[in-house]
Structure 1
Amino acid sequence: MKAGISLSLLLAMSSSASALGQKATVPPVFNIFELVIKQDKYSAYDSLAEKNITASVTGEPGTLAMYSANKTASPSVAYVFEIYADSDAYQQHLNSTSYKEFLRNSADILQTSQQRRIDVIPQFLADKQIAQSDKTINNFVIVEVKPAFRQAFCDIVLPEMAQSIKVEEGVQAMYAAIDKANPNRWYFYEIYASEEAYQAHRLTPHFKEYIAQTAEMTTYKEAIAIRPGMLKNKGGLMYEIK
């Protein structure tokens, strides 16, 4: 680890036990990967992902969250969502023993030629410490926004997400990012304690207001049904783009 540890890393370490920590002043690194699992290797992948996620989140101060999920309609497709305090923390993860072990073993488990990284710029990242159970659900949604409404959409959706994570007990994580190559494309990843918590979220005044205000701002919405695999984080992250 470098001698000059970043402010965001210190914040991550000090706020991990809180429900929502102090706002991060350095943009975290947010990665989204789409992987393809080889036939009959699902259990091996689950074990490998669980081992890597557990070692990374518990053993690396700057690794704030790692989540694995499978596409419901096509379980061979897996998504991995990662959050690091900053670029230094991400580099430290890439040099870690757990990640190198993951790489060594993944060649027999994943169709590496079909791996895809979705390059994104984080807009809003907030979470509480995940207490995963059989009831935990997650959502992955892609939204295309009309160019003329790019800023207006941002000004509406970010406060809605902040309100949701603040006042709704069953909302455990809310993350939003835009595509680096296409700033009109948004990716949302959300974690709820249960289906009941998600349905309660949809009935809140702030969610209904967001839906009403942005109804004419988008051209495309896709909700990718996924089921959670291993979900682990430190908790207490709060980042909003300026």
Structure 2
Amino acid sequence: MLISSSVIAKNPDMQDKAVMNLFEIGIRSDRDRHFDDVARQTISASVDREAGTLAMYALKRSDNRRQAYMVELYENDAAYRKHLDAAPYTAFAARAPDIIDRKKKITLEPQFLGDKHIIPDERTINNLVVVEVKPEFQTAFKNIVVPEMAESLKKEKGVLAMYAATDTKTPNRWYFYEIYASEEDYQLHRQTPHFLDYLGQTAHMSTSKNAIPVKPVFLRNKGGIKQDPQR
């Protein structure tokens, strides 16, 4: 169950479930700076002005500036639909054909959502990891990873956001998106007992793990999303 005093209802029904999307975006040649500018404008306006738009993050592959990603989080489906009709998105859509040559939407089922209010700087980093979990270990994997993420957010000052979600079309495919205050904070996280325990307990549960090399373009959230791992 998602819990947040300001942005998510305490007892959501199916219509009030949080919506999480991941977009894989191809940027046209010589348009990567245009993408950065439009991403900043769209994200700032959307998160600041739209009550149900909880977080939007623009990333690029660190080894290919023409490959971008957008991670989006909305309070519910109604909030997502409202965003699509709002001025910031329509302005983005009008400029997109000149900047973007490919866009693939991956609809995600949130499994854990937790963040703090993020004010990024030049030290802020993010991770995007895709894990293929063996179907027979889906429940066991979730029961291990969700408490670990909650513990990380609670105990580690440098852990700013942790999101886990599964592909609605391929449920055993897990997407993890994480934000850290710095590379040092990330390395400290990797040495914590709860992270090492997670690694040890789940090593046999996955068939592959793909850490996509990404760097932030623009990160914005309202902050304060929490999930109770016991519910």
Q: Normalised by the shorter chain, which TM-score bucket?
A: over 0.9
Count of aligned pairs between the two proteins: 226
Alignment of 1:31 with 2:41, yes or no, is: no
Structure 2 residue runs of 5 or longer lacking an equivalent are: none
CA contact (8 A) 1:31 1:82 kept: yes
Alignment of 1:87 with 2:65, yes or no, is: no
Provide the rounded CA distance (Å) in 1 between the counterparts of 2:83 and 2:199. 38
Instruction: Give, as a single letter, the amino acid of the residue that structure 2 aligns with 1:56.
Output: S
Q: How does 1:191-230 map to 2 (within 5 A)?
A: 191-230=179-218
Alignment of 1:234 with 2:229, yes or no, is: no
- 1:129-173 deviations in whole A, cap 9, x for unaligned? 001000000000000111111110000000000000111000000
Which of 111, 132, 135 matches 1:147? 135
What is the RMSD computed on CA atoms of the aligned residues? Answer: 1.8
Which residue pairs with 2:175 in the alignment? 187
CA positional deviation for 1:178: 0.5
Q: How does 1:108-187 map to 2 (within 5 A)?
A: 108-111=98-101, 114-187=102-175
Alignment of 1:68 with 2:58, yes or no, is: yes
Alignment of 1:12 with 2:2, yes or no, is: no
CA positional deviation for 1:11: 2.8
- 1:45-78 deviations in whole A, cap 9, x for unaligned? 1000100000000011111100000011111010
TM-score between both structures, scaled by the size of structure 2 = 0.93
- 1:20-54 deviations in whole A, cap 9, x for unaligned? xx867442110100000000001111000100000
CA positional deviation for 1:183: 1.2
Provide the rounded CA distance (Å) in 2 between the counterparts of 1:235 and 1:135. 19
Q: Is the partner of 2:122 in helix, strand or coil?
A: coil
Deviation above 3 Å: which 4+ runs of structure 1? 7-10, 22-26, 239-242
Instruction: Give, as a single letter, the amino acid of the residue that structure 1 aligns with 2:7.
Output: A
TM-score between both structures, scaled by the size of structure 1 = 0.89
Provide the rounded CA distance (Å) in 2 between the counterparts of 1:68 and 1:91. 20
Instruction: Give, as a single letter, the amino acid of the residue that structure 2 aligns with 1:209.
Output: D
Provide the rounded CA distance (Å) in 1 between the counterparts of 2:214 and 2:122. 14
Q: How does 1:37-76 map to 2 (within 5 A)?
A: 37-76=27-66
Q: Is the partner of 2:169 in helix, strand or coil?
A: coil
Provide the rounded CA distance (Å) in 2 between the counterparts of 1:23 and 1:156. 23
Which residue pairs with 1:16 in the alignment? none
Instruction: Give, as a single letter, the amino acid of the residue that structure 1 aligns with 2:105.
Output: R
